A and B are shown apart, each in its own frame.
Chain A
Amino acid sequence: AQSVTQPDIHITVSEGASLELRCNYSYGATPYLFWYVQSPGQGLQLLLKYFSGDTLVQGIKGFEAEFKRSQSSFNLRKPSVHWSDAAEYFCAVGAGTNAGKSTFGDGTTLTVKP
């Protein structure tokens, strides 16, 4: 069965600092990997996805993520965080044959200090 672990429950960074959110997955085949962002009281918005090709993927809002098969990781990065990035971030892995049935991590809450 597939699973996702987000080791950091809560991260605080200063505005303008760099950010890395960790995600480790377990899946038997080539995974479909996603990062979503959720603002308070809102639904989830897709930041970026990986399913094949270049292991460094670019997303919206200046985010990127790198797929590392050897480490079973798909960490999310941003070089300079903005106050508006404060939100909860979810990593997810999708099954190839039923790709919309995703398994989500428990999320990482990002706080941005002025």
Chain B
Amino acid sequence: NAGVMQNPRHLVRRRGQEARLRCSPMKGHSHVYWYRQLPEEGLKFMVYLQKENIIDESGMPKERFSAEFPKEGPSILRIQQVVRGDSAAYFCASSPLETGYTGELFFGEGSRLTVL
């Protein structure tokens, strides 16, 4: 499967625990984006990463949230000390690095976090 892979698809955490969401981009893609979708809402940009670099994290909450995209392995979105308001679907998208890239995103199927 050459698509964007996210895991886990579903994650249940109790308040105060940590959530780790993983994303492997499409083969040949070097850019990763994380978006959050709250119930009944559209997607909201969180963070944009390239390998070993955070390019734009303007959509990330200031506390408890962090993201990385190491040289080897998947991108990880980490949420510490989760609260009920973190319950959402978290989507990863990837894109290629190529001249003339016009912004279309290739999405994974999402990780749905439920905080009890």
Contact = CB atoms under 8 A, between A and B. Distances in A.
Interface of A: 4, 32, 34, 36, 41-46, 49, 51, 90, 92, 94-95, 98-107
A49 B104 contact: yes
Contacts, number: 69
A20 B43 CA distance: 22
B105 interface: yes
Contact of B41 (A36, A95, A106): A106
Contact of B104 (A46, A90, A95): A46
Residue among B35, B41, B103, B105 with the highest chain A CB neighbour number at 10 A? B103
Given A43-B108, A100-B48, A32 B103 contact: yes
Interface of B: 4, 31, 33, 35, 40-45, 48, 55-56, 91, 93, 95, 101-110
Contact of B107 (A41, A45, A49, A94): A45
19 contacts: A32-B103, A43-B109, A44-B91, A44-B107, A49-B102, A51-B103, A90-B43, A94-B103, A98-B55, A99-B102, A99-B103, A100-B48, A101-B45, A101-B48, A102-B43, A102-B45, A106-B40, A106-B42, A107-B41
B102 A90 contact: no
